[in-house]
């Protein structure tokens, strides 16, 4: 890990987003609340929060950080489901990895919730893809 012992704790925020492409029929089931496994967005929100909070246990060289806020926002869009995660902390290093991890795990939770509807006749996922995961912005207080 990078030694951040000499850095002051300051307010930090990162916003990341990503998309999971889904079939329009699957999106319809999500919108209508007819997914057999339950509340897709509710489960994905919790998964994203847990992932952000546990990033240092998943990414080997990430520092464990005292997060003060994790917000996971999901919405249906034309191509699938978009996820935006905002993470805040007072820390010695940035929170972008926590935001990115939250996005990816939330989108994987969506995939898990709807996978039965996404499979083709051979059991494959030719339409489903997680893509465009990126940090949209990050900021910190002046030292």
The confidence score (pLDDT) of residue 142 equals: 80
Q: Is 132 a catalytic residue?
A: no
Kindly report the CATH number assigned to the domain that includes residue 133.
Answer: 3.30.70.640
Domain contains 14: no
Among the listed residues 112, 120, 132, 143, the single catalytic one is 112
Specify the DSSP class assigned to residue 92: S
| Phi, psi angle pair for 67, to nearest 5° | -70, 140
Domain contains 74: yes
Q: Tell me if the pTM is above 0.85.
A: yes
- Angle value at C-alpha 59, between 67 and 47, nearest 5 degrees: 60
Domain contains 88: yes
pLDDT digit string, tens, across residues 26-52: 999 999 999 999 999 999 999 999 999
pLDDT digit string, tens, across residues 51-107: 999 999 999 999 999 999 999 999 999 999 999 999 999 999 999 999 999 999 999
Give the residue numbers spanning the domain of 92: 20-140
Alpha helices (H) in 77-135, listed in sequence order: 96-118
Tally of domains in the chain: 1
Q: How far apart are CA 51 and CA 99, in angstroms?
A: 9
Domain contains 68: yes
Domain contains 1: no
Domain contains 13: no
**pLDDT > 90? residue 143:** no
Q: How far apart are CA 132 and CA 17, in angstroms?
A: 8
Domain contains 84: yes
């Amino acid at each position: 890990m990078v030694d951040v012992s000499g850095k002051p704790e300051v307010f930090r925020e990162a916003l990341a987003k990503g998309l999971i492409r889904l079939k329009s029929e699957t999106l319809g089931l999500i919108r209508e609340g007819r997914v057999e496994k339950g509340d897709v967005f509710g489960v994905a929100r919790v998964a994203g929060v847990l992932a952000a909070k546990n990033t240092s246990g998943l990414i080997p060289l990430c520092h464990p950080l005292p997060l003060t806020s994790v917000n996971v926002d999901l919405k249906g869009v034309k191509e699938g489901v978009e996820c935006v995660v905002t993470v805040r902390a007072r820390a010695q290093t940035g929170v972008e990895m926590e935001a990115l991890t939250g996005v990816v795990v939330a989108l994987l939770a969506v995939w898990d919730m709807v996978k039965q509807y996404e499979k083709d006749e051979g059991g494959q996922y030719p339409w489903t893809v997680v893509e465009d995961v990126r940090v949209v912005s990050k900021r910190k207080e002046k030292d």
